């Protein structure tokens, strides 16, 4: 059954400085998250919807067109003939940190959930996972926030999961006190918490990410993470993932947290374990901060993988003969599963074999499963497997024992 994800929020037209002058694009925290989530949900039975309101102007149409191109469904984006989408401009300092200037007081999205029969409520009724942020609720009137809160609470009681990022923007709120009250209220109905350490510290005065995570778990959240920038996320529950890679260069931090959220939600919807979801989300955020703009063209990060096994001495010559001319079907399946730069080395006289390859896809578990299900590969393994002598210390499910990378130099 298709997993239905609804991302609730406000799209914005983005004015930014490029190499050839000012340019216009589109952004907004939940819009960015929806796009990254949809990208990483491709090939899986997952539908990502955007829930918002826009105008009938050219910029509004541009935002809707972008969502559609990215595979985000827009059936819950309504059109307001009297309003438009908001606009913001970005300035970046030398360290890549950004400042924003907004023109959004009359945006169409501010009218969402204004009535008890608001059409946007239907999106919540039909989804399995609803994602929203502190910005999503900051732009609403208090009655609209109440209406949204009650709708989420009711659907959550029926099994829907709520994902929330506090994403605090002081200028959008009447006061810091109102922001704390409302964000705390939405934390009470959250299953997947995805705040940043900085926002929670400003809002609630907690400097320790572990304490923030404990507070959110006590409030009812059962998964997610406290985002801690370059240090990597702190998981709310279960084992901590890591170690996390560091960004080689920070160009623009716009959209880093949004991309993290999108990748994490896609991984969870795909059924991946928490550790894999956190690594995928962190690695995507690394790509985003290395380029200008919130929505970047994704080049899959290279995942280097090493493994080791022994070879039975009596099969040495036959094993080398087979690997001098590997079956074309086996090679084709490896390439289709995004496996590149694959080598096997032999150490004599121990008959120790070291395998190395690079993975350039976005879903290793799925690509690895496709290799294992391939009939030609299964025949190849049936031929080569008896020649190999696996280590007794390998992990459950492994044949070649996977190894830890302790050093790398490009």
Active site residues: 258
Tokens 């901590």 sit on residue? 240
Q: Kindly report the backbone phi and psi dihedral angles of residue 242, in degrees, each rounded to the nearest multiple of 5, phi listed first.
A: 115, 175
C-alpha angle 51/55/61, rounded to 5°? 80
Number of Cβ atoms within 10 Å of the Cβ of 177: 9
Helices and strands in the chain: count of H runs, count of E runs: 14, 17
Q: What is the dihedral of CA 110, 113, 119, 124, to 10 degrees?
A: 110
Q: Give SS3 for 272.
A: coil
Measured between its terminal Cα atoms, the distance across the chain in Å is 43
Nearest residue to 294 via CA among 13, 29, 8? 29
Q: Which helix (H) or strand (E) holds 164?
A: strand 161-165
Nearest residue to 254 via CA among 285, 293, 206? 293
What does the block give as tokens for 42? 């491709």
Give the number of residues written for the chain.
410
Nearest residue to 236 via CA among 200, 262, 274, 263? 274
């Amino acid at each position: 059954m298709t997993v239905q994800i609804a991302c609730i929020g406000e799209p914005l037209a983005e004015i930014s400085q490029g190499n050839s002058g000012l340019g216009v694009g589109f952004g907004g925290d939940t819009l960015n998250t929806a796009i990254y989530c949809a990208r990483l949900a491709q090939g899986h039975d997952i539908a990502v919807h955007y829930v918002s309101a826009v105008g009938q102007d050219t910029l509004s149409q541009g935002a809707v067109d972008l969502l559609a191109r990215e595979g985000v469904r827009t059936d819950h984006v309504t059109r307001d003939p009297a309003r438009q989408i908001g606009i913001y401009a970005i300035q970046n300092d030398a360290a890549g940190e950004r400042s924003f200037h907004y023109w959004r007081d009359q945006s169409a999205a501010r009218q969402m959930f204004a009535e008890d029969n608001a059409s946007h409520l239907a999106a919540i009724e039909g989804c399995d996972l609803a994602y929203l942020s502190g910005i999503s609720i900051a732009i609403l009137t208090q009655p609209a926030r109440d209406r949204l809160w009650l709708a989420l609470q009711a659907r959550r009681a029926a099994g829907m999961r709520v994902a929330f990022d506090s994403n605090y923007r002081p200028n959008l709120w009447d006061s810091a006190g109102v922001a704390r009250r409302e964000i705390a209220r939405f934390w009470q109905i959250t299953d997947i918490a995805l705040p940043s350490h900085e926002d929670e510290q400003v809002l609630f005065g907690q400097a320790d990410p572990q304490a923030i995570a404990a507070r959110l778990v006590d409030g009812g959240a059962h998964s997610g993470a406290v985002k801690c920038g370059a240090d990597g996320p702190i998981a709310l529950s279960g084992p901590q993932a890591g170690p996390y890679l560091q960004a080689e260069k920070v160009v623009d931090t716009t959209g880093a947290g949004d991309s993290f959220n999108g990748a994490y939600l896609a991984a969870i919807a795909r059924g991946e374990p928490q550790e894999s979801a956190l690594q995928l989300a962190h690695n995507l955020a690394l790509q985003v901060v290395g380029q200008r703009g919130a929505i970047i063209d994704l080049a899959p990060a290279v995942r280097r993988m090493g493994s080791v096994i022994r070879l039975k001495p009596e099969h040495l010559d036959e094993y080398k003969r087979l690997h001098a001319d590997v079956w074309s079907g086996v090679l084709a399946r490896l390439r289709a599963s995004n496996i590149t730069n694959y080598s096997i080395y032999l150490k004599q006289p121990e008959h120790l074999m070291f395998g190395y390859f690079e993975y350039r896809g976005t879903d290793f578990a799925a690509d690895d499963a496709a290799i294992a299900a391939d009939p030609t590969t299964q025949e190849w393994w049936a031929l080569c497997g008896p020649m190999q002598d696996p280590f007794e210390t390998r992990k459950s499910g492994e044949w070649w024992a996977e190894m830890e990378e302790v050093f790398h130099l490009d």
